[in-house]
Amino acid sequence: MIALRTALLSLRMLGRNRLRAALAIMGISVAVFLLCAERAVHGGVSEATAANERDTRLIVYRANRFCPFTSKIPERYADDLIKIPGVASAIPMQITVSNCRASLDVVVFRGIRGVDAEMTLAPRVDFLGGSLSEFLARGDAALVGSALAERRRLKVGDRFASAGISVTVAGIVESDGPQDRNVCYVHLPFLQTAMGGVQGGDVTQFEVEVTDPKQLNEVAAAIDEHFAADRAPTSTRPEKAFVARAAEDLVAIAAFAGWLGIGALVAVFALVANSIVLSLESRTREIAILQSIGFPSALIAWSIVVESLAIALGGSVLGASAAYAALSFGGFSLGAEGVLVEFRPSLMVAFAAIAAAAVVGLAAGFVPALAASRRSIVDGMKAA
C-alpha cells in the first residue's frame, strides 16, 4: 500500500515539469517508432527469404540473368520439366516490372496460363472480390494481390495501367505468400504480346512444384543439368533462395536497419536517464525532506524508478501505436528484380518494443535512483 502511494506521488511529481516530461516522451516515441519500423523491415525480409522444411517450390530462371527483362526461356521447356523425376508441376510465367531496381512502389505483372490459374493459383488464394471465372472470361483481365490493390486503391472492374500494360481488375486475392499479395496476375498470351513477344514464345521463369520437399536441391540440380546444353541454360533455386538472391539490396537494408534498432534503444536510455537526472537536480531538497520525515531509502529509490518507468512507457506506447497505424494504412513494401518484401504491422512487435523500452527505462532510472537514495539528508540540503 505504501509502495502504491509512493508511486502515485512520483507520478504527481512528474507532472510538475510537464514540458520536460513531454519532450522526453516525444523523443522516446520517435525512437520506439523507428524500432518498430526496423522490426517490420526485418520481419518482412525474413518472411520472404527464410526457408523451411515444407518448401516445395523451385524457380527456374535463365542462367546468369538477374532482372526479369533479361531472362528469356522457351515456353516449350514446360514439357521437358514435367518429365523430370520429382517434378509435380511446371508453370511458365512471364514477368514484367515497372522498375527493376529497388523501389518503394513496384508493380509486378505475372503472366500465367488459364489452366495454371485454375489448377495451381486458385487453390492457394482467397478471393476478396471478383472470381476466377471473371478472370478466365476475358483476355485483359487481372487478379490483383490484396496489398497491391490497397496500395493503388483498386477494386473489381477498375482499369489499371502500369509499365505500359493496361488491364481490367477481375478479382482481388488474398494469400499467405507475400509475393501473391503484391503482384498482378494476367493471362500469359496477353502479356507476351503486350511486351512485343509472341504467344508460346519465351517466358521469364518457371515455377516448379516438387513431390518431396527433401528432394528440392536434387531436383534443382537435375533441371539445370537437363538444360545445360540447350540454347537457354537455366539456374534453378528454391523459391526462398531465389528471393533472397534477387533481394540482396533489401537484405542489406534489413541488416543495416538492425543498427537503427539498437540506436533507438540507446536513445531511449539516454532520454530517460537525462530526464530523471534533471528531475532529481530540481528536487534534491524535496528528497532530503522526505528522508527527514522517515521515508526509507528503498521508497525513495522506488519513486524514482516509477518515474523513469512512466516516462519510458508513455513514450513507447505512443511510438508503437503510431508505428502500427502507419504500417497498417501505408501498405509499405520494397521491390527489386520482380520480387517484393512487404512491411506489415504486428501487435507482437509493438508489445515487444514497448517491453524493451520499459526495461531500458528501468535500467536508465536505476543508477540515479540508487544515488539519490544513498545521499544523506545533510548533503541533500546543502545541494539545494
Cβ atoms of 316 and 22 within 8 Å: the answer is no
- pLDDT per position as a tens digit, 235-247: 888 877 777 666 6
pLDDT of residue 374: 65
On the CB side of 94, CA atoms within 13 Å amount to: 25
Q: Which of 167, 117, 178 is nearest to 145 (CA)?
A: 178
Higher pLDDT, 264 or 334: 264
Q: What pairing do the DSSP bridges indicate for beta strands 234-238 and 183-187? A: unpaired
Over residues 188-205, the pLDDT tens digits come to: 999 988 877 766 688 988
Cα(267)–Cα(306) distance, integer angstroms: 19
Condensed to tens digits (0 to 9), the pLDDT of residues 264-309 reads 888 888 877 777 776 666 666 666 666 566 666 667 777 777 778 8
Instruction: Give percent above pLDDT 90 in the chain.
Output: 16
**Is the pLDDT higher at 44 or at 129?**
129
Asked if pLDDT for residue 156 goes beyond 90, the answer is: yes
pLDDT (average), residues 326-344: 73
The grid coordinates listed for 345 are 504491422
Instruction: Give 108's pLDDT tier (boundaries 50, 70, 90).
Output: confident
**Sole residue written with cell 522526505:** 290
On the question of pLDDT at 187 being above 60, the answer is: yes
**What's residue 363's pLDDT?**
83
Cell numbers of 143, please? Answer: 487478379
Q: Helices marked H in the chain — which ranges?
A: 2-14, 18-49, 77-81, 114-116, 132-137, 146-152, 178-181, 188-194, 216-227, 239-246, 248-282, 284-292, 297-330, 347-374, 377-383
**Which residue did the predictor score with more confidence, 323 or 380?**
323
- Alpha-carbon span 309 to 318, nearest angstrom: 14
How many Cα atoms sit within 13 Å of 32 on the Cβ side? 37
> How do strand 141-145 and strand 165-174 relate by DSSP bridges?
parallel
Three-state DSSP at 157 gives coil
Least confident stretch, 121-135, 164-178, 335-349? 335-349
Task: Read off the pTM.
Answer: 0.70
pLDDT score, position 282 = 61
Q: Which of 212-221, 266-275, 374-383 has the least mean pLDDT?
A: 374-383
Residue 95 has pLDDT above 60, yes or no: yes
Contact 312, 362 (CB under 8 A): yes
Around Cβ 251, how many Cβ atoms within 10 Å? 19
Which band of pLDDT confidence, cut at 50, 70 and 90, is reported for residue 318?
very high
